[in-house]
């Protein structure tokens, strides 16, 4: 694998984890949101990752120049969770139903924080991989002098 492919794979990981952190941040910020434009409580967002071969052009695919195991990660879609809302008895709340229950999003803030730490560590790992690749490229240029 060449250095540019390594950088491309790491940058795809950075982009995917940035989207994951944005979705988690949205979930945490809306953990108490009982009313949305779509109606009902906020529905937590989840990012779906997918992998595809790291290839620059169609000719590389035909020629099979790159190692078939090198994959880039992509956030293929952001879906809304189907978890049922949590009902709390609050009869004086403006969004309470006729029985006095308010539907809150089914978001566990502690779980979301753990997911945020995981995404942050993945982001850091990709930054370190990019810095290592950059360092190797600089060493290769020094050898060429």
If we measure between CA atoms, which residue out of 90, 86, 113, 114 comes closest to residue 100? 90
CA 110 centroid distance within chain: 17
pTM for this model (two decimals):
0.81
Q: Residues 9-66: pLDDT tens digits?
A: 899 999 999 999 999 999 999 999 999 998 889 999 999 998 876 655 555 555 555 5
Domain assignment of residue 126, given as a range: 3-138
Q: Residues 64-119: pLDDT tens digits?
A: 555 556 678 888 899 998 899 999 999 999 999 999 999 999 999 999 999 999 99
For the record, the structure tokens of 132 come out as: 């290592």
Looking at the 3D structure of the chain, how many domains does it have? 1
Burial 124-137 (b: 16+ CB within 10 A, else e): eebeebbeebeeee
Q: Which long-range contacts (CB under 8 A, 24 or more apart) does 87-93 make?
A: 93/34
Q: 23: part of which helix (H) or strand (E)?
A: helix 3-29
**Collapsing DSSP states into helix, strand and coil, what is residue 31?**
coil
Residue at 143 is within a domain: no
Residue at 36 is within a domain: yes
Q: 33: part of which helix (H) or strand (E)?
A: none
Residue at 124 is within a domain: yes
Output the pLDDT for position 107.
95
Residue at 38 is within a domain: yes
For the record, the structure tokens of 92 come out as: 């004086």
Q: How far apart are CA 21 and CA 23, in angstroms?
A: 5
Q: Which residues contact 145 (CB under 8 A, 6 or more apart)?
A: none
């Amino acid at each position: 694998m060449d250095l540019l492919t390594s950088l491309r794979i790491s940058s795809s990981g950075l982009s995917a984890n940035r989207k994951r952190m944005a979705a988690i941040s949205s979930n945490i910020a809306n953990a108490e949101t009982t009313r949305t434009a779509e109606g009902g409580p906020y529905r937590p967002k989840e990012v779906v990752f997918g992998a595809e071969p790291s290839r620059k052009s169609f000719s590389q695919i035909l020629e099979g120049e790159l190692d078939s195991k090198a994959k880039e990660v992509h956030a293929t879609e952001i879906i809304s969770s189907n978890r049922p809302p949590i009902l709390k008895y609050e009869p004086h709340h403006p969004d309470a139903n006729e029985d006095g229950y308010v539907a809150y999003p089914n978001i566990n803030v502690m779980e979301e924080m753990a997911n945020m730490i995981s995404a942050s560590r993945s982001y850091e790992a990709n930054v370190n991989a990019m810095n290592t690749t950059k360092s190797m490229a600089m060493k290769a240029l020094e050898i060429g002098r």
